[in-house]
Amino acid sequence: MALTAFAVRSGEETRQVQMVCLDDLVPAEDELRRIEVLVDWEHVRATARPFYRPGGAGRLGTDPAVLVKLALVLAWRGLPSMRVVLKTAQTDMSIRRFLGFGLTERLPDHSTFSHAQTKRFADSSVFEQLFTAVLRQCTEAGLVGGRRLLVDATHVEADAALKSLRAELSLVEDTVDEGGGQEAVEEPRARPKLALAEPRTGPTPKRTASNATALSRSDPDAKLRHKPGHRTHLVHRAQVAVDPKARVIVAVEAESAAGSEADALEPLIGRARFAGHAAKEVSADAGYASQASYATLDRLNSTALIPPQPGARHLAGEAARARMRTPVGRDAAIDRQAHAEGAIAELKHHGMRRARCRGTRKTQLQLLAAATAINLKRLLAAQQARSHRQTGANGTPHAAITGLLDLLTSCLTELDHLATAESSTAS
């Protein structure tokens, strides 16, 4: 009876010392490897340099480009925390190569990134400039139409619990009119002194809190949100402006969840125009509709493709309703549902379901990193499509090039036959 021959793996092979180059272990089509060449990391270091103190006699600090790369990996992979990113990087050769660390080098501690995100880079423009640079590449690649801007918002759960809410016992300003007919004088009036309540019988009444009466002690920027059928929680609001041509994110804005969504229209259009977008048409849902928002867009020379509220009877609302019934208005509504809401779904996939830090400003940094990752995804897809047009699916030349080569080959063969026939006739 013949036995099948096989090589026994005892495990000794894993303990052999070998000369290995990490660069050879990561394939050329790896996504992080392709992203690395799209970003000018020297420019990233230059923008971060003002936030580093001059080096002393102690150990050197972590390269700021590494910290920005960690933020991109966190957003690109949609991982829950920096601890998970660094734990994954211990065995993931792609991340190690992207960060510039060798096989046996010790990776940075997660606290280093936390300090950079919450302290060092919190008030910097490092992530803003990175987002702008990637957006410029998207524009140069022809991925931005530059005319229509789609605006939508979503809520990001804050890193704060409901038990952090405390009643706001601040002074109340009251207007006191003295002297009969004289100008009112504003004088602060303190709340009454608190006293111990009398003993109560029966069931304990339920406490209710609102944004007008309570404030989170751990994240004062977070606001209460309650939606029927959903649990009450603390949130921030993320505003997103998208170009419909290739669903490239043009501008983002993290803000407090209090107030109207339409208050962010002017800042978003300003950011978009700073990046080179014309924003001639602005499309949003009815949550952005008001007389003030229509007046703002008219002042900014942008056509408002925003359906008015059902009960709106003012002139601006009637004009907006008429615009939404035109082919342009219907097309804008379809674009908003497909691309603005689609971009928000992608942002949630890239880590924007929950804020990792406290405060609106730090949420803005997280939002910029996620939007940058999405735009880098658009650039990689455009590069792959361009490569696919130049070559076939199996790596062979494109059909048009193949046909041209076949035609050239047949012409050369025909010329060779004519030359052979002429030589035979001459002989």
How many structural domains are present in the chain?
Answer: 2
Up-side HSE of residue 1: CA atoms within 13 Å toward CB? Answer: 1
- Any idea how long the chain is? 427
- Of the three residues 72, 94, 124, the one that is the final residue of a domain is 124
294 lies in the same domain as 328? yes
Q: Identify whether 176 is part of a domain.
A: no
- Domain interval for residue 293: 127-163+223-361
- Residue pair 379/137 in contact (Cβ under 8 Å)? The answer is yes
- Of the three residues 315, 333, 361, the one that is the final residue of a domain is 361
Instruction: Give the span between the Cα atoms of 248 and 138, in whole angstroms.
Output: 8
Mapped onto helix, strand or coil, the DSSP state of residue 294 is helix
286 lies in the same domain as 141? yes
Mapped onto helix, strand or coil, the DSSP state of residue 166 is strand
- Residue pair 244/334 in contact (Cβ under 8 Å)? The answer is no
Measured from the Cβ of residue 351, the count of other Cβ atoms closer than 10 Å reads 24
* Eight-class DSSP state of 100: T
- Residue pair 239/261 in contact (Cβ under 8 Å)? The answer is yes
DSSP string, 369-425: HHHHHHHHHHHHHHHHHHHHHHB-TTSSBPHHHHHHHHHHHHHHHHHHHHHHHHHHH
pLDDT in tens, the chain (427 residues): 555 677 777 777 777 877 888 888 888 889 999 999 999 999 998 988 887 766 554 566 788 899 999 999 999 998 888 999 999 999 889 999 999 988 888 888 888 888 888 887 888 889 999 999 999 999 999 999 989 999 999 999 999 888 888 876 555 555 444 444 444 445 555 556 666 667 767 776 666 777 877 888 899 999 988 888 888 889 999 999 999 999 999 999 999 988 889 999 999 999 999 999 999 999 999 999 999 999 999 999 999 999 998 888 889 989 999 999 999 999 999 999 999 999 999 999 999 999 988 999 999 999 999 999 999 999 999 988 888 777 665 555 555 555 555 666 666 666 666 665 555 555 4
Q: Which helix (H) or strand (E) holds 315?
A: helix 315-324
Separate counts of helices (H) and strands (E) for the chain: 15, 10
For 101-117, b/e burial (b = at least 16 CB within 10 A) is beeeeebbebebbeebb
- Of the three residues 124, 140, 174, the one that is the final residue of a domain is 124
